Structure 1
Amino acid sequence: MGDIVLSAGIRSNLLSIQNTAKLLDQTQTRLATGLKVNGAIDDPTAFFTAQGLNNRARDLESLLSSMDQAIQTLDAADQGIQSVIKLIENAKATANQALETKVKASAATSTNSTAFVATTAVSTVTGIDAGDIFTIQVGTAAAIAVTVGASTSHVSALVATITGLTGVTASLTSEGKIKIEGDNGEDLTITDTTGSAANTLGVTGTATNGTNRRTFESDFNSLRVQMDQLVGDASYKGVNLLQANNDLTVFFNEGQTSSLTITSRLMDTSSGGLNISEIIAKAWTTDGSINSAIDQLDQAVNTLRQQASTFGGNLSVVETRSDFTENMINTLVGGASNLTVADTNEEGANLLALQTRQSLGTTALSLASQADQNVLQLF
């Protein structure tokens, strides 16, 4: 094109049209992308500043997801605590029912029509011989053998022998009959093994007329097992804040210089956790043992509530930082947008003005070329 000679007017109008076309392309690109800075060539300072702001916003978005997961972990722990408290309340109700149930000894009373007195020799009773043996069994405990004394021993000696056994009491009724009782209220089984002394006394068989608390003990222990199982299930993505050595660290900035460590705490029924002891069989025969279990349950509830309060404080911190981080992300993205996003109203107006300028430039170029066209009239 350098070999073609153009007049100054034509060249000026041509350059104007070329610049207008370039500006039209730029404006159309801005309208199409919504950005006034599409690359470093458009505005290096704005482009790289906006890129840095967006990069930090993406880093914070990743941390925001981590905070959301921490909130869910704390929520799972709190649900576990509240559920354990409900189980403890059920266990306490079971203990109170046991406390209200008074132990009544199971008793076998002689049906022999012969009235005994303390000074009567047992061996004088027809069917009872010195050396006869019968066993007494209370509940599932081992049967204990009782041997009738020498022929000269009295009924009082037999009563004393039976009373000396663990968990068993013997006495003479006002009618002078022997009465044998299983103290803890469990079934009382009496069986002859040598001779027929127990049969003669009329106390053989199983007495089921007592009242005990074994069922409540079993129910309590079952609830205790459920507490431990529930604590073990209160995990979220492998983190269980109700078990030891499960601390959770939440980072709040991309440099990991701001963080919160949520300390886990063992919340099972062990001595290192809630300290709720298993009830040993027949331990609830006394009211004192039941009251001790209730005291443990009350203390366990206090421990759980204190831990729930601690987790609540942690949750408040994480939620506050989460809200702050979300607002910061919006601020960063907004700042980047201010540097790069195009004003569509302005760009639309520019497009209209450039289209008008292009039309006028074309007209001006046509007018500028008319001077050269006049030369043709000479031929």
Structure 2
Amino acid sequence: MSSSITLSAATRQNLLSLQDTASLLATTQTRLSTGKEVNSALDNPANFFTAQGLNQRSGTLTSLLDGISNGIQTIQAANTGLTNLQKLTDQLKSTAQQATQATSAVTAKATLTTKALNGAIDTNLVSTGATQATGRSIGAAATTASTLTGTVAFATATTPTALATDQKFEVDGVSVTVGAGNYFAADVVSTINAQLTAGNSNVVASANGGGNIILTNSIDGAAVSVSGTSAGILGASPAANTAAAVFSPKASTRMTSLGFTDGDNVVVNGYSVSISKTDTVSTFAQKVSTATNGEVTAAFDPTAANRYFTFTAKDAKTQVNLANGSTATSLISKIGFNGATSFAAGLGASGSTADLANKTLTVSVGSGASAKTATVTFGNLTGQVQTLDQLNVALASANAQATMDSTGRLSISTTNDSASQTLNISGTATGASASFLTSSAGATLGGDGLTARNKLVTDYNNLLGQIDQLSNDSSFNGINLLKGDQLKVNFNEDASSSITLKGVATNSTSLKLTAVTTDDFKDNTAINKVMDSVKSASTTLKSQAATYASNLSVVQNRQDFTKNLANVLDTGAANLTNADLNEEAANSQALSTRNSLAISALSLANQSQQGILQLLR
């Protein structure tokens, strides 16, 4: 038997209202407790599943951040290793530089020396000595006397010839005076000869049987010159010059006999050398030295086969330059110089040959493929080597240098930077009959310098070992880019975006830094080769560091991007599902009020039904 309870319309209505309010209040309470407006697919399928997908991707990207962070640390570990390897290479460089500043390990450099070179000097290696400018021969080899015979006959005996006044005239440029008085021919001859002898004249007076005065030049055969207003005592007024017979100049020959006149001059190396009527060849030569302050000396060779002037420079660095004087008769052709008048320094005597002239010399420093070589040809032509400075410029490329001592010996040696290297020479300047008698020499090592450098060798090699150890220790999480390991960092959930870093084995071997020996630190040239390898290694490390820095920047950038993207995804998901808590709190308050009112209404509806029930009782 069934039973049913019949509710009044008001009660039912109030009950339904209360139930709706309770449901809405429960929903609001759920949203407030979860903070989400969409808590299940039933709330909003589209937003729920969209937010779920965004959250899932955000979670995947967030999980990748650990791998990205490990990648960053791995790169930073490698970069830290490179930074410290760079410091070690700086220490290697410092050690090598200490070796260059240490006392030399060489007690004697390799040196090769010539014999004493004929006339060579530092400014002219192909000099044969001080220049000797020699003129042509003057006059003839043999002498024939020249004479002038007077026409006035002096008494030879009994009654002398009377001269009423002093008779003054010049013979061969020498002033002669025969005073007033009575003279025999012999007396006139004696008077004239005394004065000619005092004047260093080559003319001699004599008398023939008729009492005529005869002037004779038998020394050099030059013309006898007589002039003056009183020359009539010789039979002419004035007497004419005789022509030379056969002229052969001597040291005592008057310069006027060579064609000069009183007051002439010639120019030697820019200095004026005066010529007077009394000058002889000998005195003229003396004047040259005085006028040029010893820069040039002059000499006359009177031997029959020569008869020439020679002008000699004071040394092999001085030229000889001759020039005509200031008058029409001041011609240097009169002293035998018709052609060349300018003579370069270092020519030596005529016909002499320099020991190194046109000879070749090849200089080699070191051995094997690393040897430095230079070849020169000695001479004064374009492209040839004439001076010591030019030779040193040419030898610089071979790490060699040249010096010359006061005896004219030329020495070739290695430079200080290549002091320990061997020295070898070849060419026509070498050999038994040539200038360089030996062709090979070596250096002598020893002393405190060698000891100090050997210690630096040990220090250098110890640093190389530290390079290898540091490289091996530059790992993170089992990956060492400095040992050639590979690092892959994924940037998205399906690994379609990533970066792969290929490590480079970085150690002393890969950097081409090899252990050094005593030979590598024995001179600056060898040390410079070591320093070049260190510089190359340093450049390699800097290049690798730059590559890793670039890769680190990329990974760090992707790390920031991934963080920001995950935040965007989380924000997007929250925007689809999160509730407005302020709104839900207001709704909760309103629904609570509404619920209270519904309960009150339902209570009132029930009270009316109870009143009817009481009436029935």
Which residue matches 2:70?
69
Question: Judging changes above 3 Å, is the alpha-carbon distance between structure 1 residues 184 and 251 closer, same or farther for their aligned structure 2 residues?
Answer: same
1:185 partner amino acid:
G
Q: Deviations over 1:257-304 (max 9, x none)?
A: 11111121121110xx21111102443213222111100111111111
Match of 1:278 among 493, 511, 515: 515
TM-score normalised by structure 1 residue count:
0.70
Which residue matches 2:471?
231
Q: Distance in 1 between matches of 2:19 and 2:453?
A: 102
**Consecutive unaligned residues in structure 1, runs of 5 or more:** 108-166, 168-180, 187-207
**Consecutive unaligned residues in structure 2, runs of 5 or more:** 109-420, 422-441
Question: Judging changes above 3 Å, is the alpha-carbon distance between structure 1 residues 24 and 38 closer, same or farther for their aligned structure 2 residues?
Answer: same
Q: CA deviation at 1:378?
A: 4.2
The secondary structure found in structure 1 opposite 2:482 is coil
Q: CA deviation at 1:367?
A: 2.9
Q: CA deviation at 1:38?
A: 2.5
User: Quick check: 2:519–2:526 contact (8 Å CA) kept in 1?
Assistant: no
Which residue matches 2:563?
326
Q: CA deviation at 1:55?
A: 1.0
The CA RMSD over aligned residues, in Å, is 2.3
The secondary structure found in structure 2 opposite 1:267 is coil
Which residue matches 1:135?
none
The secondary structure found in structure 1 opposite 2:42 is coil
User: Quick check: 1:106–1:211 contact (8 Å CA) kept in 2?
Assistant: no
Q: CA deviation at 1:2?
A: 8.4
How many residue pairs end up in the alignment? Answer: 283
Larger radius of gyration: 2
Which residue matches 1:44?
45
Structure 2 matches for 1:294-309, cutoff 5 A? Answer: 294-309=531-546
Which residue matches 2:505?
266
User: Quick check: 1:27–1:347 contact (8 Å CA) kept in 2?
Assistant: yes
Question: Judging changes above 3 Å, is the alpha-carbon distance between structure 1 residues 289 and 2 closer, same or farther for their aligned structure 2 residues?
Answer: farther
Q: Distance in 1 between matches of 2:103 and 2:38?
A: 87
1:18 partner amino acid:
Q
User: Quick check: 1:54–1:333 contact (8 Å CA) kept in 2?
Assistant: yes
Q: Distance in 2 between matches of 1:372 and 1:266?
A: 97
Is 2:423 the counterpart of 1:184? no
The secondary structure found in structure 2 opposite 1:32 is helix
Identify the structure with the greater strand proportion. 2
Q: Deviations over 1:203-257 (max 9, x none)?
A: xxxxx7965511010000000110111111111111111122x111111110111
The secondary structure found in structure 1 opposite 2:499 is strand
Question: Judging changes above 3 Å, is the alpha-carbon distance between structure 1 residues 215 and 209 closer, same or farther for their aligned structure 2 residues?
Answer: closer
Is 2:580 the counterpart of 1:343? yes
Is 2:434 the counterpart of 1:215? no
User: Quick check: 1:184–1:282 contact (8 Å CA) kept in 2?
Assistant: no
Q: Distance in 2 between matches of 1:41 and 1:21?
A: 19
Structure 2 matches for 1:46-125, cutoff 5 A? Answer: 46-104=47-105
TM-score normalised by structure 2 residue count:
0.44
Q: Distance in 2 between matches of 1:352 and 1:183?
A: 107
1:293 partner amino acid:
V
Q: CA deviation at 1:32?
A: 1.9
Structure 2 matches for 1:162-177, cutoff 5 A? Answer: none
1:267 partner amino acid:
T
Q: Distance in 2 between matches of 1:2 and 1:313?
A: 87
Question: Judging changes above 3 Å, is the alpha-carbon distance between structure 1 residues 334 and 104 closer, same or farther for their aligned structure 2 residues?
Answer: closer
The secondary structure found in structure 2 opposite 1:242 is helix
How high is the sequence identity, in percent, across the aligned residues? 45
Q: Distance in 1 between matches of 2:593 and 2:451?
A: 106
